[in-house]
Structure 1
């Protein structure tokens, strides 16, 4: 079927619509308009449609808005950590949980598939239509992403090796040149498969794991692959004080400065987190360079994922300042809960608290970051907006939902009050993937049962991976002690 033969769908008389003004480069509200798509493309988002159509959707009491673009998430793993890592922290590692607790869990491939299904159901139901899934490649990954109906940007991670701790207060790295080359070749094979995926909704992102787990040669080669394939490039960088200090120790340069030195900071670079710049008060560092300015001048983007860091009292300093300096800011969910609307609210509250300025960031700033900001970082100009020619990735919000009423400003109400609850219907490529608030192509309950089983399997092995031999209950005790039970056992269940 050609594009001109594809069926036409009219969302008739939408009470509100968030439409794109190309000249002003910003979203705007429209009232009482028809939003029309044919096949996978929007054909009209202004005025009344008088042309032919095949399907008509009643837009009364609905807001039509662009689907969110989530640029940084780990759905194949983080879902399993619910109830375990929300209140862990490592004082010896500047409160980051990366070095002592992230390494405690290993998830098998069945668990990864189940975790991904749960996370993607929650993401779709919170209005995400495009997702950058940063995971280690695993069997069935690409087909599984496509089956959910989401627009997927697969970012298979690779590195020279992991970080570890043997004592809970120092970090060492097990880096190997050949291991890095092998993992990169496997990731490139995965990206080749993504480019050929028959769904047409799966593409790739070159994704070396972390700035401190990759040798310079691997990073230069990774950027070369991104350029030759014309793909985005993403890497975790400036995400921890430990990492900042390690890069100073190795190179005498901050993570951002070293990225610039070796040629991996440019307009296709998406920095995962970008928190600990030379200006951040927690690093206590003063240089003649300006990390924030270097990011902006390079045209790079920053993936802001506030929830996973604010749990440890860590925050980017600060969102509006990055925007005003000219950095393309984007939003990612990173961890559980996989809820994009809640992530936007958290981004606003944290940034206003950190900056001491209640005026910004505004809801418009974070909505822009979560839509066209993310699209720009992923090198797409056809997602994240409601405009003729853009992909028909649309979200319909129920304006009669009690959480939005009394209704004066629907986006403000959605972010600050409604959350995902009023989101009723979601379309990707013009195909409905959420109906009445439920993901249509994911068996959520079955996936959750499988995630619970995977969590138990992983918890049973925590003592074998912990530097102190602690069980999961000892390392991550429940909120309250169990009546009638002894204190958590110290090592793998052995007294």
Structure 2
């Protein structure tokens, strides 16, 4: 589509919101990575402009300023984005924000070690966090995401150890100003029964403290398979319907780990037909997704969240995820062990899929001709696909009527200098330091490279105190929580096995593995 035609098309779709009383921002002069809903594809607009009114994108223009036919409020804030790239905010469809206080403690963990030391059950039993610790960990983690251009997070909130810790995580999500799909996790944790959790969830839904904020209420549960308790699941369905839950999410790992929670489990329980049509299901990881499971996802319009760095780090991998990318988005997972930004996940995933599909050709003793996955596809997974996964057509795109969740990238930084293709520039050359500005619902969260929340410095100081206290608690008990002993089996019944470790130091003896510097 010709740029002038695009400008006329987009500018005419939604102009009713530009009233004199509205809060408006006009971004002009930059390169805009827009989304064309007609062709269902990215549309690059050079020297374009975007008009935001309140929490929505009002118009997108193929010119540096709106045409005279469009009424722009006289008090509009004008932001010059010359030499910059404007993109939709990135979307993270799987994360545990409350674990921020554990940062650097789990750099060499396996999934077994994670379950024993850092997961929800270990925390609840061994070193339970109080409400302040959950609040500041969740809030600091969300600021970290916003700083990286992640405007929407699906938080699998398994900090639900008590009424107070549950509310603390929710309150932090609201206070961050980020768009958070806060999914209350129901689980059999120490000293907090499921009945108490059901009551707590109903209270939260009734009070609806998240109303008129970017935060919404969802549900997380990991007991759909292989041995489901149908009584609990029936109660959860009732809660989802009562609260009009924004999302249902579950960890689906399977394989020798045995935590299936698979599309097949949902189908056998007739859950796809019982869930409200407005409640999407996000299967986190789906590491051993089967062809039948993939077909069920496509049939019932639900998705998986691929967490590339997590699945490589912890060892449950993703052998089939590249086959279901049309019903997938990207997540971060346990950000205390690695990167917190979706840009890194998109880049890792892009190159790992390329490697996998190249290898299939090389294994036939043939020379690959084409590149099997594009930067455009990685960008869509990080943005548009996240919105689709959450059944939110107004997220992850720059288009009239979409939410004004935006990221401004510095196109003149040393790493970006010389770009021509803005999608490739972001996906393959940018880094978090290139994120100059971030908006959620049309409100600045980061500007001129700095988080704008006035309480950020106070939060940072308090979080550092809390993180040190939590880390010392974990370190003090480290010796009590060893790896499995000989003859033991994982909870799934499968035997444990050791990987080969690598050697990076020449000679006999020391291999360089070392320990943690705590």
Do the two structures share a fold, i.e. TM-score over 0.5? yes
State the match for 2:108 in structure 1.
Answer: 87
State the match for 1:256 in structure 2.
Answer: 263
CA contact (8 A) 1:11 1:56 kept: yes
1:89 offset after TM fit, Å? 2.5
1:224 offset after TM fit, Å? 4.1
**Structure 1 residue runs of 4+, over 6 Å off?**
none
State the match for 1:146 in structure 2.
Answer: 174
Farther off after superposition, 102-111 or 415-424: 102-111
CA contact (8 A) 2:406 2:439 kept: yes
State the match for 2:284 in structure 1.
Answer: 272
Give the Cα separation in 1 of the matches to 2:36 and 2:395: 14
- Aligned pair in 2 of structure 1 residues 104, 354: CA closer, same or farther (>3 Å)? farther
Give the Cα separation in 1 of the matches to 2:265 and 2:58: 45
Structure 2 unpaired stretches of 5+: 1-16, 360-369, 486-511
Residues 305-454 of structure 1 mapped to structure 2, 5 A cutoff: 305-323=307-325, 327-336=326-335, 337-356=339-358, 359-441=371-453, 442-443=456-457, 445-446=460-461, 447-454=463-470
Give the Cα separation in 2 of the matches to 1:184 and 1:465: 31
SS in 2 for 1:76: helix
Residues 84-233 of structure 1 mapped to structure 2, 5 A cutoff: 84-89=105-110, 97-98=114-115, 102=119, 103-105=121-123, 106=127, 107-135=129-157, 136-137=159-160, 138=165, 139-159=167-187, 161=188, 179-194=193-208, 196-212=209-225, 215-233=229-247
CA contact (8 A) 1:328 1:369 kept: no
Give the Cα separation in 1 of the matches to 2:248 and 2:352: 24
Residues 14-29 of structure 1 mapped to structure 2, 5 A cutoff: 14=30, 16-29=31-44
1:73 offset after TM fit, Å? 0.7
Q: Deviations over 1:55-110 (max 9, x none)?
A: 11111011111111212110101x233322221226xx6xx743576354443332
State the match for 1:67 in structure 2.
Answer: 89
CA contact (8 A) 2:139 2:175 kept: no
- Aligned pair in 2 of structure 1 residues 411, 318: CA closer, same or farther (>3 Å)? farther
SS in 1 for 2:314: coil
CA contact (8 A) 1:348 1:360 kept: no
Give the Cα separation in 1 of the matches to 2:40 and 2:92: 20
CA contact (8 A) 2:218 2:248 kept: yes
Farther off after superposition, 303-312 or 423-432: 303-312
State the match for 1:458 in structure 2.
Answer: 474
Q: Deviations over 1:309-338 (max 9, x none)?
A: 101343222443113xxx521111112221
State the match for 2:3 in structure 1.
Answer: none
SS in 1 for 2:106: coil
Give the Cα separation in 1 of the matches to 2:380 and 2:238: 30
Give the Cα separation in 1 of the matches to 2:300 and 2:55: 33
1:459 offset after TM fit, Å? 2.6
1:3 offset after TM fit, Å? 7.3
1:351 offset after TM fit, Å? 2.4
SS in 1 for 2:354: helix
1:184 offset after TM fit, Å? 2.9
State the match for 1:52 in structure 2.
Answer: 72
1:261 offset after TM fit, Å? 0.8
1:385 offset after TM fit, Å? 1.0
CA contact (8 A) 2:308 2:348 kept: yes
1:35 offset after TM fit, Å? 0.6
Give the Cα separation in 2 of the matches to 1:143 and 1:99: 28
1:33 offset after TM fit, Å? 1.0
1:228 offset after TM fit, Å? 4.8
State the match for 2:255 in structure 1.
Answer: 241
Structure 1 unpaired stretches of 5+: 163-173, 248-253, 280-289, 470-477, 489-495
Give the Cα separation in 1 of the matches to 2:375 and 2:238: 37
CA contact (8 A) 1:3 1:39 kept: no
Give the Cα separation in 2 of the matches to 1:22 and 1:155: 29
1:242 offset after TM fit, Å? 4.0
Q: TM-score, normalised by structure 2?
A: 0.76
Aligned alpha-carbon RMSD (Å): 3.0
Q: Across the two proteins, how many residue pairs are aligned to each other?
A: 434
- Aligned pair in 2 of structure 1 residues 376, 222: CA closer, same or farther (>3 Å)? farther
Give the Cα separation in 2 of the matches to 1:408 and 1:395: 18
State the match for 1:30 in structure 2.
Answer: 45
Q: TM-score, normalised by structure 1?
A: 0.79
1:349 offset after TM fit, Å? 2.1
CA contact (8 A) 1:317 1:355 kept: no
CA contact (8 A) 1:315 1:350 kept: no
